[in-house]
Amino acid sequence: MKKYDDMTDNEKKIIVNNYYHKQNKSFQQIAEDLQTYANKIRRDAIKFKIPIRDKSQAQKNALTTGSHKHPTKGTLRSDETKEKIGKGLINSWENLTPQELEDRRQKSRDQWNSLSKEEQQNMINSAIKAVRDTSKHGSKLEKYLLSELIKAGYRVDFHKEQILSNTKLQIDIFIPKLNTAIEVDGPSHFEPVWGADTLNRNIKYDNKKTGLLLGKGSVLIRIKQLRDFSPTRAKIIWDKLKDTIKEIENKFPDIDNRLITIEDN
C-alpha cells in the first residue's frame, strides 16, 4: 500500500472514511494501520468534512469493538462508594436549571417517539405488569424497608389484610409492637399517572385507610415516593423512617400527631 503521506487528498479521504465509518476504527487505530499519527488522521478527517463521532459515541464504539476496556466493569465498589456516587447523581439532578430539565424531558420524548408502535406497546405492557406485580407483592421500596426493619429487629406484617377489621384493605407494612402502619405511596397516589379516575380511586382508598387506622388508635406513617427507586434514595428514606420509629418508641404520639408524612427529598 502507498504511504499515507504519498497519497492524494482524494485517496486519503476515501481510505480515512472507509476505516473510520465502515470499519468503525478510531483515529489511533487508523494511524497505526497507515503508520502515521492519530492527530494527522483527525485533522484530515476535519479537512475532508468527514463526520466525526462525539465523545460518547467514540467511547461506546471503543467498548463495543474491544479496543478499550470498560473502566468500571468487573470492579467491586463498597456500599459507601455506591452511596457517594448515588448522592452525587441526586445532587446533579436537583441542581439542574428548569431549561436543563426541559431539555432532558424533550430528549426522553424524542427517544419514545423514535420507537416503533410495537416497541412502545411492549413497554406499556411491561409497565402495566409491573404495577400489577407491585400491588400483589410490594414495590422495591416496600421490600427494601421491610428488609431493613427486620434487620433492625422489628417483627412486622407485610401486605396483611386482617389488620383493618371487616375490610380487604391491605397495609403495606405494620409493626404490631408499636401499633404503627407504614404506607408507601408512589406517584399514582397523588398524580394522574393512570388517569383521573384511577387517581380519584386511589385517593378515596387512601383516605379510608387513613381514617380507619387513626380511628383504631394506630400511628400511620405515609412515605411519599416522588421519584423512581434507587438504593441511595431508599437509604435516605430508611434513615428518616428509622428516626421516626425511634421517636414513636420513646413516646407514642398523642391523637393529633399520629399521621406522619415522610418525603424522599
Task: For 28-43, write each residue's pLDDT tens digit.
Answer: 888 888 888 888 898 9
Cell representation of residue 2: 502507498
CA geometry: angle 47, 48, 53, nearest 5 deg:
90
Distance CA 137, CA 133 (A): 6
pLDDT, position 137: 47
pLDDT exceeding 70 applies to what percent of the chain? 78
Q: Which residue has the cell 423514535?
A: 114
Among the listed residues 36, 39, 49, 38, the one whose alpha carbon sits nearest the alpha carbon of residue 6: 36
Is residue 201 within 8 A of residue 241, CB to CB? The reply is no
Weakest-pLDDT range from 43-52, 88-97, 119-128, 180-189 = 88-97
**Which spans in the chain are helix H?**
9-17, 27-34, 38-47, 55-65, 79-94, 98-113, 117-137, 140-151, 196-215, 231-250
Q: pTM for the complete prediction?
A: 0.54
